[in-house]
Amino acid sequence: MVGGSAFAAGGPTRIIFLGSPGAGKGTQAGRLSAERKLVRISTGDMLRQAIAEGTPLGQQAAPIMDRGKLVPDDLLIAMIRERVSREDCQNGYILDGFPRTLPQAHGLENIAGREADDRFFVFNVEVPHAELMRRLSGRRWCPKCQSTYHVDSNPPAKAGVCDRCSTKLVQREDDKESVVAKRLQEYEERTKPLIQYYMHHARFHSIDGFRPADVVFRELVGYLEGQR
Ligand code: AP5
């Protein structure tokens, strides 16, 4: 059950975050997960974990991610199918970074069905291009607990060190300038069409993400609460 909120009553709540790289999907999904006690499933984090552990999936994904390309749909759909079947997802979940292509969206429908449509929310976070570049170039990441910071707008208490686990922060390989350009192109060509797709398939809400994270979060929660 989601922390006392009526939007959780009556079945599992599923929330999808759409938005370009750096739009703030992970930031908002993480906050929502903590406040509403809903599992956050970040496919990017899962893939980076697989790479760190050297699993077959990680070995396959690493060179693709380093080039800023999307990992094949069948791998992602299988990963999500397994993850959402676990006990901790039975009351619902937040998807951060999935689906990212039309075949993935169809895959999700096969996995989760359509019966819970009134509890199925899609947030599309919109941020101007120049701000995306600023956010991605300044992002720092904890390779141990996967917390995210920004050198200017969300710095850790001690420069270069994770607040939560004291690990040295790093820049993600795919946040380097040449790779960012490819990720943004992939988004435009393969993920953006999902906006049209979900406009007609779910409770869809576009959010202006070019505002302080607290303001964006309040709007998001207000939208969910308004759906009682
Ligand atoms: P993934 O890790 O999902 O990366 P992404 O979608 O490119 O998104 P980001 O993590 O870059 O950005 P975000 O929107 O979460 O922003 P964040 O909150 O961190 O995927 C990486 C790769 O994995 C893909 O390229 C692909 O290869 C593969 N992959 C993953 N899923 C896949 C799938 N489904 N199919 C195929 N391949 C897949 O914020 C960014 C920065 O901005 C941070 O520093 C943050 O502190 C700051 N910030 C956030 N909000 C604000 C705000 N309101 N104001 C100011 N600063 C802010």
Q: Where are the domains of the chain?
A: 6-224
Atom 7 of ligand 1 has which residue's CA nearest to it?
21
pLDDT band at 68; cut points 50, 70, 90: very high
Residues with CB under 6 A from ligand 1: 19, 21-27, 43-44, 47, 64-65, 68-71, 76, 97-98, 100, 104, 135, 139, 148-150, 153-154, 174, 183, 209, 212-213, 216
Burial call 170-191: b when 16+ CB within 10 Å, e when fewer: eebebbeeebbeebbebbeebb
Q: pLDDT value at position 177?
A: 87
Task: Provide the terminal-to-terminal Cα distance of the chain, rounded to the nearest Å.
Answer: 14
Q: Which of 37, 172, 192, 211 is catalytic?
A: 172
Instruction: Tell me: pLDDT of 4 over 90.
Output: no
Centre of ligand 1 to C-alpha 79, Å, is: 18
| Rounded-to-integer distance, Cα 119 and Cα 11, Å | 7
Q: Which of 118, 110, 74 lies closest to 92 in space, CA to CA?
A: 118
Best probe residue, ligand 1, of 43, 69, 127 (max atoms within 8 Å of C-beta) = 43
Per-residue pLDDT of 99-153, as tens digits, reads 999 999 999 999 987 655 778 999 999 999 999 999 999 999 999 998 999 999 8
For the question of residue 168 being annotated catalytic, the response is no
Query: How many other C-beta atoms lie within 10 A of the C-beta of residue 19?
Result: 25
For the question of residue 183 being annotated catalytic, the response is yes
| Rounded-to-integer distance, Cα 84 and Cα 180, Å | 29
Sheet strands (E) in 20-147:
39-42, 92-96, 120-126, 139-141
Instruction: Tell me: pLDDT of 219 over 60.
Output: yes
| Rounded-to-integer distance, Cα 79 and Cα 63, Å | 18
| Rounded-to-integer distance, Cα 223 and Cα 228, Å | 10
Centre of ligand 1 to C-alpha 21, Å, is: 5
The pLDDT mean for the chain works out to 91
Per-residue pLDDT of 148-188, as tens digits, reads 999 998 999 999 999 999 999 999 989 998 899 999 999 99
pLDDT (average), residues 20-36: 95
CATH number of 6-224: 3.40.50.300
Instruction: Tell me: pLDDT of 82 over 60.
Output: yes
For the question of residue 25 being annotated catalytic, the response is yes
Q: pLDDT value at position 228?
A: 57
